Amino acid sequence: MIRRHIIFHGRVQGVGFRWRAVSIATQLGLTGWVKNLYDGSVEMEVQGMGLHICRMINELQNDRFIRIEEMENTEIPVEGNEKKFSVQY
């Protein structure tokens, strides 16, 4: 079990990124959150099996509307009481 803080840059707002992330995370049993940032990037904290997190990122990268140009990816401490993956505003 790991938790990652990721900031995505590229064409990541206005393309369904957050809702696609929620859908993928739910299917893979991941928890965390995702939100748009004012600079046009998207911030995410995602927690679960490392292989599932990699699969989530791959599925986002392969979406025809999303274009991830850069990711800032850091491992952070796991949160024990989280139950789901959601969109934050």
Helices (H) and strands (E) in the chain, counts: 2, 5
Counting Cα atoms < 13 Å in the Cβ hemisphere of 62 gives 7
Residue 1 near residue 49, CB atoms below 8 Å:
yes
Please indicate whether residue 18 is annotated as part of the active site: yes
The residue from 3, 4, 11, 18 that is catalytic is 18
Q: Which of 3, 4, 11, 36 is catalytic?
A: 36
Catalytic positions, written as ranges? 18, 36
